[in-house]
């Protein structure tokens, strides 16, 4: 089945220790997104890739970086996690930009100690 | 700033009743509208999309859109306890999707 996969599902890191979250998709969608969602809040878009074209949201901290080495994979790097970065990180894909449906992976729950 | 507003709830309905979830948005140029269901600790799951004024039905779900009033709603008929979740309204304008804060629905047996 075509799907969006995220690994790991749960990640525990220490304050300041870099962490990388991964996302892969078999939908062959052009666009991949990373969202951050904290408890009882709406998902907040961090950035997206349209193919290899990277687009950063204006209020995304520099601490968050992303890489998309190919169509199928996208990574979220948190260079120095703080306690406030503990959240669910959601990867989503869409066929194109501009109103197309977005499909989410299962998410990675990040805990920062 | 583009906003999407939802009543946070909880909205409590008895099993078998109709649940009505509402959403308003501020950006008049919005063209695409989505409803996602999110169970506690899980990721959002797309359940409905609607692009033009009127009603769109899919099984027990009906989405309603009124662009003039900047209002979109989701009706769930014959509500089941398994429908208990948070429902996120999402509105697309330009290239980005803006989510509301979600309405928590509780269906009581």
pLDDT in tens, B11-46: 999 999 999 999 999 988 888 999 999 999 999 999
pLDDT above 70: residue B88: yes
pLDDT given for residue B1 in this prediction: 61
pLDDT given for residue B31 in this prediction: 87
Mean pLDDT throughout A74-92?
A: 97
Cross-chain CB nearest to A42 (options B43, B51, B101): B101
Q: How far is A80 from chain B (nearest CA, A)?
A: 25
pLDDT given for residue A34 in this prediction: 97
Question: What does the pLDDT look like over B66-75, one tens digit per residue?
Answer: 999 999 999 9
Mean pLDDT throughout A37-50?
A: 94
Chain Cα centroid distance, residue A40: 18
Please give the interface size between A and B, counted as residue pairs whose CB atoms are below 8 Å apart: 46
Q: How far is B83 from chain A (nearest CA, A)?
A: 18
pLDDT given for residue B2 in this prediction: 65
pLDDT above 80: residue A11: yes
Angstrom CA distances, B17 to B56, B82, B107, stand at: 19, 13, 9
CB B99, CB A43: distance < 8 Å: yes
Angstrom CA distances, A97 to A25, A51, B44, B73, stand at: 16, 11, 19, 24
CB A4, CB B46: distance < 8 Å: no
pLDDT given for residue B95 in this prediction: 73
- Which residue of chain A has the CA closest to B10? A40
Mean per-residue pLDDT of chain B = 94
pLDDT given for residue B51 in this prediction: 94
Mean pLDDT throughout A47-52?
A: 94
pLDDT given for residue A2 in this prediction: 66
Chain B residues close to A54, C-beta within 8 Å: none
Mean pLDDT throughout B57-79?
A: 97
Chain A residues close to B94, C-beta within 8 Å: 98
CA distance A51 to A30: 5
Three-state DSSP class for B100? coil
Mean pLDDT throughout B78-82?
A: 97
Put the strands of the sheet holding B4-5 in their side by side order: B4-5, B19-25, B71-76, B61-66, B54-58
Which residues, in sequence order, are CB contacts of B54 under 8 Å at separation 6+? B64, B65
B95 secondary structure, DSSP code: T
Q: How far is A99 from chain B (nearest CA, A)?
A: 5
Chain A residues close to B46, C-beta within 8 Å: 101-104
Chain B residues close to A29, C-beta within 8 Å: none
**CB-CB under 8 Å, B44 with A104:** yes
Mean pLDDT throughout B86-106?
A: 92
Determine contact: B35 vs chain A, CB below 8 A.
no
Chain A residues close to B44, C-beta within 8 Å: 43, 90, 104
Mean per-residue pLDDT of chain A = 95
């Amino acid at each position: 089945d075509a799907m969006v996969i995220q690994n790991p599902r749960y990640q525990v890191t220490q304050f300041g220790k870099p962490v990388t979250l991964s996302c892969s998709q078999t939908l062959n969608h052009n666009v991949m997104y990373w969202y951050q969602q904290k408890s009882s809040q709406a998902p907040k878009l961090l950035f997206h890739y349209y193919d290899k074209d990277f687009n950063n949201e204006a209020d995304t901290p520099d601490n968050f970086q992303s890489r998309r080495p190919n169509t199928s994979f996208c990574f979220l790097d948190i260079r120095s996690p703080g306690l406030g970065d503990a959240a669910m990180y959601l990867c989503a894909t869409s066929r194109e930009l501009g109103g197309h449906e977005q499909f989410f992976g299962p998410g990675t729950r990040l805990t920062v100690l | 700033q583009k906003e999407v507003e939802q009543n946070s709830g909880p909205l409590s309905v008895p099993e078998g009743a109709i649940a009505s979830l509402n959403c308003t948005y501020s950006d008049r140029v919005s063209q695409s509208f989505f409803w996602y269901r999110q169970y506690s600790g899980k990721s959002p799951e797309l359940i409905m999309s609607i692009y033009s004024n009127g009603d769109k039905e899919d099984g027990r779900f009906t989405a309603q859109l009124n662009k003039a009033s900047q209002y979109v709603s989701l009706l769930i008929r014959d509500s089941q306890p398994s429908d208990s979740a948070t429902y996120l309204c999402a509105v697309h304008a330009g290239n980005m999707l803006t989510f509301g804060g979600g309405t928590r629905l509780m269906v009581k047996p």
